[in-house]
Homo-oligomer: A and B are copies of this chain.
Amino acid sequence: MASIVEIAKLAKVSKMTVSNVINKKYEKVSKETRDRIERILIETNYTPNLFARNLKSNSSKIILFTIPQTIENDPYKNTAFNNPFYGELINSIEFNLRKAGYYLMFRFVSDEEILSNLVLNWNVDGVIILGAVKKEIRTVFKDIKVPVVFIDTYADLEESDSIVTEDEQGGFLATNHLINKGKRKIGIVVSSIKEIGVASKRYDGYRRALKENDISFDDKWLFEGFPSFEFGAQIAQQIVEEKTAFDALFVYSDVMAIGVIKGLKEHGLRVPEDIAVVGFDGLYIGDLCEPRLTTIKQDITAKGKMAVDLLVRKLDGSSLSSEQLTLPVKLLEKESA
C-alpha cells in the first residue's frame, strides 16, 4: 500500500534515498538515515510495486511455462495432467525457477496465443515450451529476442536451445532387453510417428534394435494412437483380435503401457510369460501395476532443472550460442519384462 514517496515523506528524505536503501546501495546513505528508513519500511510493511519496477527495467522475472496444444473447450477432456510426467516436470521447473529468483506463469496455449497474448503482452523474461511447436512460431521467438528453451522438441534443433531425452537410445534399450529375454515378435505402441518427435525417435531406436539383431520388422507390429491409459487398453483388445501373434510389446509411455497390461490381462494373457511389456518414463505408477512395469527411466526432475539452468544461462548472458542438451536414460527392470 505504502509507496516509496510516502516512505520518503515519513523519513524526511527524497524518494531516491529510499530507493537506494531498498536496493541496498548503501554507499549513498549514512548509517543513521539508513536505519531510520529501514525502520519505517518495516513499520509500514512496504513492498515495492513490481509493475513500476518492471516498467522501468523492462524485465518481469516471470517465466512462462507452456504446453502448446489444441485447447479443448471442455476441461474434462484435457487429460494431459493426468500423466504424472507433467506434474513432476512442473514441480521441478517451479522449484528451480523460484531458487533462481523467477516466477512461474503456467498456461496451456494455442500456437498463435503464445505470441500475441503472452510473450509480448507480459514481457515475460523467458519461455519454456514442452512438446512439439510449429516452425513458424519457433522462428518468431528469434525476432523478439526472448530466450526460449524447448523441451522434447526435435525440429530445427541446431538453431534452438533445447533439452531432449535419449529417446532413440531408450527405444533401443527397451527393445534390446526384450530380445535378450528371448522375445522375437515385438510390437510397438506409440502416439504418432508421422512427424519427427519423441515418438518417432523411440520408434527409430526400436527399429535399430530389431535390425542389429536380424529381426525383420512387420508393418503390422506398429500401433499408433492417443497416449492415454484408455487407449492402451483398447490397443490390447486389437492385439488380441489381430491374427498376428506377439510375444512382446514396447510401449511409448508408462501410462499407455499400464493400460496395455491391464487390457492384456483382461483378455486372459499373462505378462510377461505370454507377452512381455516395456514402458517409458519410469513413473511411480509403474509400481502400482501388476506385474510391476519394466521401463526406460528418465529423470524428469533433472530434466526440469536442466531446462531452467539453461534458460538462466541465457538470461544472464553466460551462454551465447545455442545449446542442445540430452538427458540420459536407463533400463529399469521390474517384472513385466
- Please report the C-alpha to C-alpha distance between residue A55 and residue B80 in the assembled complex, in whole angstroms: 35
Is the Cβ of B91 less than 8 Å from the Cβ of A75? yes
Whether A51 pairs with B47 at a CB distance below 8 angstroms is: no
A112, B104: Cα distance in complex, Å: 18
Q: Map CB proximity to B onto A91-131 as digits: 1 under 8 Å, 0 otherwise.
A: 11011101000011111100000001000111100000000
Q: Is A258's beta carbon under 8 Å from chain B?
A: yes
List chain B residues, Cβ under 8 A from A144. Answer: 1
Q: Which of A1-52 contact B (CB under 8 A)?
A: 1, 45, 47-52
Cβ distance A1 to chain B, nearest Cβ, rounded Å:
7
Size of interface on A: residues with Cβ below 8 Å to B: 54
Bound complex: CA of A55 vs CA of B54, how far in Å?
10
Chain multiplicity (copies): 2
Check if A78 sits within 8 Å of B95, measured CB to CB. yes
In the bound assembly, the distance between CA atoms of A139 and B135 in angstroms comes to 50
**Of B51, B84, B104, B123, which contacts A55 at CB under 8 A?**
B51
Whole-angstrom distance between the alpha carbons of A285 and B116 in the complex? 37
Whether A49 lies near B96 (C-beta < 8 A) is no
Residue among A48, A92, A106 with the highest chain B CB neighbour number at 10 A: A106
Of the residues B49, B88, B121, contact of A50 by C-beta under 8 Å: B121
Choose among B90, B288, B290 the residue that contacts A81 (Cβ–Cβ < 8 A): B90
Q: Are B86 and A87 in contact (CB under 8 A)?
A: yes
User: When the two chains form their complex, are residues B103 and A105 in contact, meaning their CB atoms are under 8 A apart?
Assistant: yes
**Contact (Cβ within 8 A) A284 B229:** yes
Given A75-B305, A104-B106, CB of A51 within 8 Å of CB of B123: yes
- Within the complex, which residue of B54, B90, B120 is in contact with A47, where a contact is CB–CB below 8 Å? B120
Closest partner residue, chain B, to A262 (CB atom): B288
A324 within 8 A of partner (CB): no
Q: Residue A237 at the B interface, CB < 8 A?
A: no
